[in-house]
Amino acid sequence: MPKDYQILKDRSKLQLENIKNLMRQTYWAPDRSEATIIKAIDHSVCYGVFDQDHQQIGFARVITDFATTYYICDVIIDAAHRGKGLGRLLLEFITTDSDFRGLYGLLVTADAHGFYQHHGFEPAPEIFMHSPRH
């Protein structure tokens, strides 16, 4: 972990305005409403990446039943802080969390297959299906 950053699994430390700004940087949720972000946070295990000034510059969340499966989503590092290994460290922090030990991990990505494969995830297009939003 670069010494000027820390990763916390503490919902009380999350900074909603910063998370909204992070979401605007994504291809999958640039227009996600504040109400939707709050509801997603309330029903997820959340992680924040913070800089030396205690500003949140990264975010990820996990949806899980804590028994069989966990789903990693909304993994984001602010553009100004990319290239420092923070995304890698955030993913390692999540995948080594004792809450998920022995569980089946899932995620969806359109552009970061190599990144996730480096962390033990494997493509499985032949077994996944999805339902469009209702």
Between residues 93 and 129, the one the model is more confident about: 93
pLDDT band, residue 127 (cuts 50/70/90): confident
Domains and CATH numbers, the chain: 6-117 (3.40.630.30)
Alpha carbon distances (Å) from 124 to 1, 69, 121, 128: 30, 15, 9, 7
**End-to-end Cα, the chain, rounded Å:** 41
**Residue 36 CB partners (closer than 8 Å, separation 6+):** none
Torsion region of 74: left, alpha or beta (phi above 0 gives left; psi -120 to 50 gives alpha): left
Average pLDDT, the chain: 92
87-110 per-position pLDDT tens digit: 999 999 999 999 999 999 998 887
Residue 9 CB coordination number (10 Å): 15
46-95 per-position pLDDT tens digit: 999 999 999 999 999 999 999 999 999 999 999 999 999 999 999 999 99
